[in-house]
Amino acid sequence: MADVRVCAVRDVKPGAAKRVDAEGYRLSVVHIGDDWYVIGDECSHEDYSLSEGDVWEDDREIECPKHGSTFSLETGDPQTLPATQPVPVYPVRVEGDDVVVTLP
């Protein structure tokens, strides 16, 4: 496992997501209030960027912009069809002004 700085805190506005490519991983970094989430950025239904979709703050979900599947930011599990497979989630923390993710 490796800890990797993926962006600065100021790079992701509250209630938003940002795509980041790090160490060969395509990631979506999501900021909700004081919480941070990092999930795989590719929808498990088709190859679309989840970070381009809407963040559902109250539900802690992100919506695929193409077909509307939503995914839990906490578990990666799909919450609505057509997606049926989860996307990966990664441990994330803030260190000073940096967002750091642990990659396998």
Give the CATH number of the domain where residue 79 resides.
Answer: 2.102.10.10
The number of folded domains in the chain is 1
Confidence at 62, pLDDT banded by 50, 70, 90: very high
pLDDT at 6 > cutoff 90: yes
Confidence at 100, pLDDT banded by 50, 70, 90: very high
Total-model pTM: 0.95
Confidence at 1, pLDDT banded by 50, 70, 90: confident
In terms of residue numbers, what domain contains 82? 2-103
Q: What torsion do the CA atoms of 99, 65, 78, 41 make, to the nearest 10 degrees?
A: -30
Residue-averaged pLDDT of the chain: 97
C-alpha to C-alpha distance for 61 and 94, rounded to whole angstroms:
20
pLDDT in tens, 19-48: 999 999 999 999 999 999 999 999 999 999
Exposure b/e, 18-55, CB count within 10 A at least 16 = b:
bebebeebebbbbbbeeebbbbbbbbbbeebbbbbbbb
